[in-house]
A and B are shown apart, each in its own frame.
Chain A
Amino acid sequence: MIGLSGVSRRFGAVEALAGIDLEVGESEFLAVIGRSGCGKSTLLRIIAGLLEPSAGTVVVDGRPVRRPRRDVALVFQRPALLPWRTVLGNVLLPVEILGLPSASSRKHALELLDSAGLGDVHGRLPHELSGGMQQRVALCRALVQRPRVLLMDEPFSALDALTRAELADRLQELHMGLRATTVFVTHSIQEAVLLADRVAVLTPRPGRIRKILDVDIPRPRSFGHNAHLIEVSRCVAELHDLLL
């Protein structure tokens, strides 16, 4: 679904990414993990078509990426909601900009909000919601355009630990249902192990892929008690060693 070969990116004299080769399969959930400033976000923006690579090629669904695609949706670190629009109005923003059919999209948006537990707050303004709820709204907004590719840039990093765990759990459920190809940038080892089919570990300055780790743990996974604690801790330990 997504293919990068020899992708590099410089910002002036700074080399942010160097020689990235990466394949993400259809419906796969890939986590990209690394320290701050290792080019994770740059990588995501290149896949999204928001940034051009200095060298190398990016292909999504068989086509080279030159500009943002309609079937690729982004979720940012911060919710990035429009403060003057209601929750529903925010979710419908992509519908208006992309010119999707409004009646069916509205129904779809309400369903998404319902399933995110936001059904009864769809008329509220974002500032009336908690941070976790705002980020759930942002997730609904990304899903309203029925993306085939979901690109997420540390979407839970601005939230408290409990809310993060709750949202990560919810994202896992969502992914099991929707099967959108997902690239999930994070600096949380726990999140990566809970969510990803594979984890790409990036080294900083310039960002290179150090290793791609397969996470062969059956789903649904959990942070709590489950049958896979040994596998989970093995993966966590391995990522820990690679990163620190």
Chain B
Amino acid sequence: MKSFALPVAGAVVAIAVWWAATAVLGVRPFFLPSPPDIVAAFLAQPGYLLREAWATLTATVIGFLVAAVGGVLLAVVLTLAQSVSRATLPLLVALNSVPKVALAPLLVLWLGFGAAPKVVLVVLICFFPVVVASAAGLGSTPAELGELGRSLSASRWQQYAKIRLPWALPQVFVGLKIAISLAVIGAVVAEINQPNHGLGAVVVLSGMSFDTPLAFAAIALLALLSVGLFYAVAGLERLLLPWAKAITG
């Protein structure tokens, strides 16, 4: 209970200050809507907004899961074979440094107007942090655990399955937590580029019709989505790795 009190208090104070500012300064809702304006915009068409939020959520989660599984597998391959690692790592870094916004129109060109370009953009934006964090985790097996495995003549597979991969999991989760917050950004970038579905599309379309409260309602939902997803990943970590906090102190 205590752990919730402070974050909630922080949010409440921020919203109160915002509300007070709009009220005291007499800002027009078109320029900066007050919190009640935004709530009203949401309540005017909750079905529409929740449907679009669902579209963003599914693309985000599917892309994130693909990147998580693919990223960990690639990290295993990279740590297994030095040659593969040296051949592909510069390429990966180069790919990662390409602004993903620039890829959004190309993905639509290649993959059409459906959900596919959105999911692919999420995968592209999530992939790198997962690979880097997982590879770091896989490379950090303590020497004595490696020797323990070798002294038992453990196969490569056993070394990974029983020692190296579980050991890497806390660091894998560092990558996953970075990736999940990027994932929402990836989905929204794709939606802004191709505003058919999703909260990103709502922001673009409401902006075109000067419906600022609706845009803010969509942005508020995106923020809630991001926070919810981040804490879901963090909660999963706590559930799966109760030992990790204990050994890092």
Q: Write the residues of chain A forming the contact surface with B, with a CB cutoff of 8 angstroms.
A: 45, 48-50, 67-68, 70, 72-74, 76-78, 80, 82-84, 93-94, 96-98, 125, 127-128, 145
Contacts and interface: CB of A to CB of B under 8 A. Distances in A.
Contacts of B149: 97
A96 B162 contact: yes
Most buried by A among B142, B152, B166, B246: B152
Q: Is the interface of B mostly helix, strand, loop or mixed?
A: helix
Contacts of B246: 83, 125, 127-128
B16 interface: no
Interface of B: 142, 144-145, 147-154, 158, 162-163, 166-167, 169, 241-244, 246-247
A68 B145 contact: no
Interface centre among A50, A76, A84, A127 (most CB of B within 10 A): A84
Given A67-B153, A97-B152, A84 B147 contact: no
Contact of A80 (B142, B166, B244): B142
A76 B147 CA distance: 9
A68 B152 contact: yes
Contacts, number: 62
A40 B152 CA distance: 21
Nearest to B148: A80
A78 B144 contact: yes
B152 A80 contact: no
Given A83-B243, A125-B243, A74 B153 contact: no
A83 B162 contact: no
Given A83-B243, A83-B246, A68 B142 contact: no
A68 B153 contact: yes
13 contacts: A48-B151, A68-B151, A68-B153, A74-B148, A78-B144, A80-B144, A83-B246, A84-B166, A94-B152, A97-B162, A98-B153, A127-B246, A128-B246
A67 B149 CA distance: 13
A80 B145 contact: yes
Contacts of B144: 76-78, 80
A70 B150 CA distance: 11
Given A68-B153, A127-B247, 17 more contacts: A45-B147, A49-B151, A50-B147, A68-B150, A68-B151, A70-B153, A77-B144, A80-B142, A80-B147, A82-B162, A83-B244, A83-B246, A84-B241, A84-B243, A93-B152, A94-B152, A96-B158
A74 B147 contact: yes
